[in-house]
Amino acid sequence: MKRITLLGAILGSIVILAAACGGPSSGNANGTHQTTQTAYSPHIDPADFTTKIDNKYFPLKPGTTFVYRGKTEDATEGDVVAVTSDTRNIMGVECVVVKDTVTEDGEMTEKTYDWYAQDNKGNVWYFGEDSKEYENGKVKSTGGSWETGKDGAKPGIIMPANPNVGESYRQEYYKGEAEDMARVLSLDESAMVPHGSFEHLLMTREWTPLEPNIAEHKYYAAGVGNVLEASVKGPQERLELVDVNTR
């Protein structure tokens, strides 16, 4: 459920994960991040991955649908995220397919198929997306689409197994198209959204160097997943979890 237009950057900062699929890189307390000289090249062994995604902050059980509602500066936004039973093989890794449909004032503006897999340490990896933006019912753009292994694109960690405050990680990498980053800010936040009141939330700051004037905070509840997104830099947007349906 990545929407690059919501994400932003902290100027002049780039964090690069270690070459192994191990832990996220760390940043300092004022929100800037250290730059390393190591090229981003995660090691991916298909034998290390599963389609059973049970990370407590990012569970993806087939048949689950997350319904979000919110406001942008110009419209009422809806977002329906459906975990399908479909899979996609990417570089030998079987990935869960998640369908993400975004509407503005009831009109579909974006439909994306995201591909995720979990490694044997519990990290959830993001292997790419097939994204289409719509205008008046017709495809306007496929910008932001990418797939691991094609044209230099590489996967990233969408959610660490054991997030620690201060850790930063690359969520995706397709140079010039998909370069989202995240940093863990807190493990003890609270929020009230239409779906309920939540305590002890994981809060992250997410951004991309491709859009340096935009950033947002995301809040994740254990056993549920993402419950709230709120912009902290750039256009004011807020998206709240309204319902979770299972079949």
Q: How far is CA 188 from CA 27, 57, 203, 225, 228, in A?
A: 19, 13, 8, 15, 14
Reported as a single tens digit per residue, the pLDDT across 124-146 is 999 999 999 999 999 999 988 99
Question: How does residue 73 score in pLDDT terms, banded at 50, 70 and 90?
Answer: confident
Q: Is 226 helix (H, G, I), strand (E, B) or coil?
A: strand
Nearest to 195 by CA among 95, 65, 100, 20: 65
From the list 199, 174, 186, 245, the residue with the least C-alpha distance to 2 is 174
Is the separation of the CB atoms in 10 and 207 below 8 Å?
yes
Which CATH architecture is the domain 4-245 placed in?
Beta Barrel (2.40)
Residue 65 is encoded by which pair of tokens? 């649908």
Task: Give the model confidence (pLDDT) of 153-198 as tens digits.
Answer: 999 999 999 999 999 999 999 999 999 999 999 999 999 999 999 9
**128 vs 206: CA distance, rounded Å:** 17
- How far apart (Å, rounded) are the C-alpha atoms in residues 26 and 16? 9
Which letter does DSSP use for residue 213 in this model?
Answer: T
Q: pTM to 2 decimals?
A: 0.85
Query: Residues 6, 235: contact at Cβ < 8 Å?
Result: no
Residue ranges per structural domain of the chain? 4-245
**What average pLDDT score do residues 98-106 get?**
97
